[in-house]
Amino acid sequence: MASGDEHRGEGDYGDAATMGALRQMHAGYAWADVASLEPAAAAGPAVRVRGAAVRAVGRRVAFLVLRQGSATVQCVVAGGSRGMARFMAGLSRESVVDVAGVVSLPREPVRGTTQQLVEIQVEKLHCISRAVPNLPISVDDAARSEDDVARAKAAGEQLVHVGQDKRLDYRVIDLRTAANQAIFRVQCQVENIFRQVLLSEGFVGIHTPKLIGGSSEGGAAVFKLDYNGQPACLAQSPQLHKQMAVCGGFKRMFENYSTFRAEGSDTHRHLCEFVGLDVEMALRDHYSEVCDVVDRLFVAMFDHLSKSCARELEAIQRQYPFKPLKYLETTLRLDYDEGIRMLQEAGVHVEPMGDLNTEAEKKLGELVRDKYDTEFYMLCRYPSAVRPFYTMPCPDDPRYSCSFDVFVRGEEIISGAQRVHDPELLAAQAEARGIDVRTIAAYVDSFRYGAPPHGGFGVGQERVMMLFCGLGNIRKTSLFPRDPRRLAP
Amino acid sequence: MASGDEHRGEGDYGDAATMGALRQMHAGYAWADVASLEPAAAAGPAVRVRGAAVRAVGRRVAFLVLRQGSATVQCVVAGGSRGMARFMAGLSRESVVDVAGVVSLPREPVRGTTQQLVEIQVEKLHCISRAVPNLPISVDDAARSEDDVARAKAAGEQLVHVGQDKRLDYRVIDLRTAANQAIFRVQCQVENIFRQVLLSEGFVGIHTPKLIGGSSEGGAAVFKLDYNGQPACLAQSPQLHKQMAVCGGFKRMFENYSTFRAEGSDTHRHLCEFVGLDVEMALRDHYSEVCDVVDRLFVAMFDHLSKSCARELEAIQRQYPFKPLKYLETTLRLDYDEGIRMLQEAGVHVEPMGDLNTEAEKKLGELVRDKYDTEFYMLCRYPSAVRPFYTMPCPDDPRYSCSFDVFVRGEEIISGAQRVHDPELLAAQAEARGIDVRTIAAYVDSFRYGAPPHGGFGVGQERVMMLFCGLGNIRKTSLFPRDPRRLAP
């Protein structure tokens, strides 16, 4: 109940309807964070803590574990009223509770909480949001690693394993696990470092439209809609508009954006909506300038994540074990031809001028890791036939293109290239792929007003996160994932 | 032509097809930026510069002005070949040109270029991208201020004025003006400061889905689409999912995101697609904690923009004159009732429990500016009836709500509030507004698993930019704007 005057808990415990009521009842106690509580030699400070009730035990001496983010602390009703102990025991799991009390030293280190050397002697206890008694999934079950479930099973014990679909159905509860709290904090840093490195190199952050006429870059995987009577679709990438922005005089730019793909197939690495990180830049001499940016950017990112997110990466590892990514200080660049040779020498059948399938990419990742000791590398100079129509052919041999892909743990995460800035060649290459040039006229025309040579790349943020932490399923890296079947919650 | 071997300009001038050809022909010259060329006492350095041809004049002594971003420099063919001078004179405006030559001191300061104390003695001159001879609009015309056109007209002169629609039709050329280059650099900082201030206060950047089932928050202004056979729409804001993320244990979060509104009306302040900046956070005692964040965030942003973007703001002011925004170190907060009183005392008819229309908001902005000397202020405690269903009523008087709007130069830019975290009250308030609760069941249910009191706000990035610089039309602040009529380019 939100209207103010109905709090049953006017005493030391009870339900409280409003923040205002709680403020009055807990006056004199100072707000504290569970994670920053510290042991004090003398009588500790009088603190107020809000958190989720994890579990309550006991009758005469009642204990309540309170969780705030990833931190937990034990709260004790020692000499307190029986009424309070009963009230505590009756709190449903995940209810949001305010505890006011004194920070104290437990007789022995507390087991099973992140705060082991302090506890709180409860003086006031009020519930501000009751969870339903029967939760559809429990945070403890959702936080369990597959190894733990397997080990228990081997020992004849039965532990609940929460499947991926059920997790996502009740994502609001699933997100409360330590691993999930960490995954989205690390991912925030992926985006942040991407932006900061590029800003420091003179790139400008821009926003291109997601609602576009025509059919984006062609292909079937496009969401269509009605735009005030005009046929429109959701851009599959900022490709066309970011190139137009280069023609508009922005020499170096980046974009973080929502990307929409009406993917038909349910895989571990595709989402129907994801966060794209895109770069486009004017070139001086060679498309390797784009590779240089990728190199500096991602090496800086991996370095930074390992250092500044160590605690979060540990939390992820506890539930989803993975080995740290192997990468070099200067990123390895291989020519596509060399990759083909390595695969052929390893007995893998590949077409020299065809595309690599997922399996061949995986195998090449292994060969490269064994030979060069890196799981992060670039493959350059792809055959023109397997790249999009706007890709610049190599000047010395137009069967090849000024393009590259980047791989992490054997999976592609980045595609990049020099683009065609000549409008006639661009139109010819589009036509050769069966694209109706009239639908991209504004794009082609933008190269008729003077266009600098340029190139860029795009990468999916969730894929970076999935592969850096070896998470195995991209749904783990999306707050509320969208796949061919899932549109909720 | 992109294939390498067809450069007619193998000598000192001509057309060059590829970057590789240019690299060879201009070997020995070092890349330089126009903006950072500096006068040298002795013979200057041999430099290479790529830019757009602004204008070429002369026959025997030929001059070419080259533009790079917002910087321009004069290039001179002094003792050079007549052929080169002829080639130079034949370059169409906006063609992309590489000049290799020596930095030197002009006999007298150059007029009409940003580099007035240096010029380049051209030794090699090659064109890498020819613009069509008849451009649909010229950058000079697009860069002209309305004042200049009016002044010329008063003096009997006729200067071309490029209208808003024509600018947007040829946005790729329009974006090359100094004002537009500046607008999008400042706007990048708006987003950047938003992110950095919040990150420094422990907020986590998240991404909520834009593709959602149901009908977003209700109302007609929703783009609908088919999601693999399921009815779906584009989220009008991250409102529902950012609240669900708070329930998922993220105590403080923000999002930069694409927002879609199928607006029917063509106004100066509405776009069908814009960049939202959103915040949601758990509250301790009172929704004023959200106001505190707004206060710190925007004062820091305005301070920073004025200091670090001074050059860009000047460039905008040259084309679109505006007065610096008046704001206080601590943002003024008025109660809605007080605002009503001020308007009534000024003789404006307003309903005490109704919403303010745009005109009344404008008038109140003037009254507040006159009385408090600020054009940036918050109006708090709006009547519940004029706020969305998820707004928390005031505990002391449910006719009012824990909500606020923020105004810049008399226009609303931010809406914020405490949200209802009690699922029963939330469902009741939704029903009272005629919303089918079944369509938002996942949202309402997420408050059944323990939900902390929380609140937040949302702001449109383009609107911040428009109002900070008094630009008068939001289309000026969107790279490729989308309004009810415009879906291209």
CA-to-CA dists, residue A179 to A10, A142, A183, B125, angstroms = 38, 10, 6, 59
Give yes or no for a contact between B364 and B342, defined as CB atoms under 8 angstroms apart. Answer: yes
For residues B126 and B98, give the distance between their C-alpha atoms in angstroms, rounded to a whole number: 5
* Of B257, B261, B270, B210, residue with least CA distance to B463: B270
Q: Is residue B254 within 8 Å of B226, Cβ to Cβ?
A: no
Q: Which two tokens stand for residue A300?
A: 């800086």
Bridge-based pairing of strands B332-335 and B376-380 is parallel
Question: CA-to-CA distance for B183 and B316, rounded, in angstroms?
Answer: 7
Q: Which two tokens stand for residue A78?
A: 């020692």
Q: How many CB pairs under 8 A join A and B?
A: 305
Active site residue B185: no
Minimal CA–CA distance to B243: which of B10, B439, B426?
B426
* A102-115 pLDDT, tens digit each: 999 998 999 989 99
Among the partner residues A20, A392, A452, nearest to B96 by beta-carbon distance: A452
Residue B8 bears catalytic tag = no
Q: What's the half-sphere exposure (Cβ side, CA atoms, 13 Å) at B2?
A: 26
Report the half-sphere exposure of B195 (CA within 13 A, side-chain side).
22
β partners of residue A232: A225
C-beta atoms of A129 and B212 within 8 A: no
- B216 counts as catalytic: no
A307, burial (CB in 10 Å: exposed 0-12, middle 13-18, buried 19+): exposed
Give pLDDT, residue B41.
Answer: 66
Contact criterion met (CB < 8 Å) for A175 and B249: yes
What's the mean pLDDT in B85-95? 93
Contact B480 A209 (CB under 8 A): yes
pLDDT tens per residue, range B230-256? 999 999 999 999 999 999 999 999 999
Please state, in angstroms and rounded to a whole number, the distance separating the CA atoms of residues A367 and A389.
30
pLDDT category of residue A1 using cuts at 50, 70 and 90: very low
Is residue B177 scored above 80 in pLDDT? yes
Q: Closest residue of B to A396, CA-based?
A: B4
Place of tokens 């593709």: B211
Between B254 and B160, name the one with better pLDDT.
B254
A218 pLDDT tier (thresholds 50, 70, 90): low
Place B218 in a pLDDT band, splitting at 50, 70 and 90: low
Smallest Cβ–Cβ distance between B2 and the set A18, A393, A461 belongs to A393
Nearest CA in chain A to B206: A188
Q: Span B380-402, mean pLDDT?
A: 97
Interchain pair B421, A250: CB under 8 A: no
Task: Name the pLDDT band for B8 (thresholds 50, 70, 90).
Answer: very low
Residue B489: which of A207, A228, A244 has the nearest Cβ?
A244
Per-residue model confidence (pLDDT) at position B216 = 56
A391: three-class secondary structure by DSSP: strand
Question: How far does B185 lie from chain A, in Å, by closest CA?
Answer: 6
Judge whether residue B102 has pLDDT over 70. Answer: yes
Please state, as a whole number, how many other Cβ atoms lie within 10 Å of the Cβ of residue A304: 16
Predicted confidence (pLDDT) at residue B4 exceeds the cutoff of 60: no
Residue B21: list chain A partners with CB under 8 A: 395
- At residue B172 the predicted structure's pLDDT band, cuts being 50, 70 and 90, is very high
Q: Is B42's pLDDT higher than 60?
A: yes
Task: Please give the Cα distance from B215 to B233 (Å, whole number).
Answer: 6
- Measured between beta carbons, the chain A residues lying within 8 angstroms of B132 are 448-449
CA distance B455 to B390: 10
Query: Nearest-CA residue of chain A relative to B478?
Result: A207
Say yes or no for a CB contact (<8 Å) between A188 and B205: yes
- Closest in B225, B282, B449 to A173, CB measured: B449
Please indicate whether, in this complex, the C-beta atoms of B175 and A213 are within 8 angstroms of each other: no
CA distance A347 to A325: 27
Q: B205, A225: Cβ pair inside 8 Å?
A: no
Q: Which amino acid is at A423?
A: P
pLDDT digits 0-9 by tens, A422-462: 999 999 999 999 888 988 898 999 999 999 999 999 999 99
pLDDT at position B6 is: 34
Task: From chain B, pick out residues whose CB is under 8 angstroms from the CB of A481.
Answer: 209
Q: Residue A268 CB: number of other CB atoms within 10 A?
A: 12
* Angstrom distance (rounded) from CA A259 to CA B333: 39
Beta partners for residue A275, in sequence order: A258
What percentage of chain B carries pLDDT values higher than 90? 84
At B279 the pLDDT is: 98
Q: Which domains does chain B have, with CATH numbers?
A: 13-129 (2.40.50.140), 139-172 (no CATH), 178-477 (3.30.930.10)
Our answer to whether residue A217 is catalytic in this structure is: no
Average pLDDT over residues B279-300: 98
Q: How many CA atoms lie within 13 A of B175 on its CB side?
A: 28
Residues found in chain B: 489
Binary contact (B205, A192; C-beta < 8 A):
yes
Cβ distance A167 to A137 under 8 Å? Answer: yes
In this predicted structure, the answer to whether residue B115 has a pLDDT above a threshold of 70 is: yes
Over residues B77-99, the mean pLDDT reads 88
pLDDT for position B399: 97
Closest-CA distance of chain A to residue B201, Å: 14
Would the pLDDT of A2 be above 70? no
pLDDT in tens, A57-80: 765 668 999 999 999 999 998 766
Q: Which residues of B touch A262 (CB under 8 A)?
A: 227-228
Task: Tell me the average pLDDT across B184-205.
Answer: 98
Of chain A, the percentage scoring pLDDT greater than 90 comes to 84
Whether residue B415 lies in the annotated active site: yes
Peptide bond connecting A45 to the previous residue in cis, omega within 30 degrees of 0: no
A269 catalytically annotated: yes
Contact A357/A386 with Cβ under 8 angstroms? no
Angle at A119 between CA A118 and CA A121, to 5 degrees: 140
Percentage of chain A surpassing pLDDT 70? 95
- Its sign, for the CA torsion B215, B217, B218, B222, is negative
Least CB–CB distance from B452: residue in A96, A212, A241: A96
B206·A213 Cβ contact <8 A: no
Mean residue pLDDT of chain B comes to: 93
pLDDT at A11: 85
Average pLDDT value for chain A: 93
Cβ contact B364:B390 at 8 Å:
no
Interval B153-167 mean pLDDT: 92
Band of residue B265 on the pLDDT scale cut at 50, 70, 90: confident
Out of B176, B185, B269, B333, the active site residue is B269
From A21, A272, A422, residue closest to B2, measured CB to CB: A422
pLDDT of residue B254: 98
Model pLDDT, residue B7: 34
CB atoms within 10 A of CB B310: 10
Mutate to test the interface with B, among A172, A273, A483 (most CBs of B within 10 A): A172
At B466 the three-state DSSP class reads helix
- Predicted local confidence at residue B129, as pLDDT: 97
Cα of B367 to nearest chain A Cα, Å? 33
Mean pLDDT in residue range A349-361: 95
For the residues B113-130, what does the mean pLDDT come to?
95
- Of the candidates A263, A296, A304, A486, the residue annotated as catalytic is A263
Quick one: B55 exposed, middle or buried, by C-beta within 10 A (0-12, 13-18, 19+)? middle
Q: Phi, psi (5° rounding) for residue B45?
A: -70, 155
Dig out the tokens for B345 from the structure.
Answer: 């005392």
Name which residue leads in pLDDT, B343 or A161: B343
Q: Tell me the mean pLDDT in the region B164-187.
A: 97
Given A22, A282, A487, which is nearest B211 (Cβ)? A487
Contact between chains at A52 and B450 (C-beta distance less than 8 A): yes
Q: Which of A202-211, B75-84, B105-114, B474-483 has the lowest mean pLDDT?
A: B75-84
Tokens of A400: 């090849």
* Distance between CA atoms of residues B341 and A221, nearest Å: 56
Per-residue pLDDT band at B80 (split at 50, 70, 90): low
Residue B484, pLDDT above cutoff 50: yes
Sign of CA dihedral A309, A314, A320, A326: positive
B270 part of the active site: yes
Q: What pLDDT, in 10s, does the model give residues B46-72?
A: 999 999 999 877 656 689 999 999 999
CB contact under 8 A, B224 and A227: no
Percentages (nearest 5) of helix, strand, coil residues in chain A: 35, 25, 40
Q: Is the peptide bond before A395 cis (omega within 30 degrees of 0)?
A: no
Please count the CA atoms within 13 angstroms of the CA of A420 that sit on its side-chain side.
Answer: 26
Query: Residue B308: is its pLDDT beyond 60?
Result: yes
- ∠ Cα A128 A130 A135 (to 5°): 150
Contact by Cβ (8 Å): B70, B54: no
Given a contact cutoff of 8 angstroms between Cβ atoms, the answer to whether A206 and A250 are in contact is yes
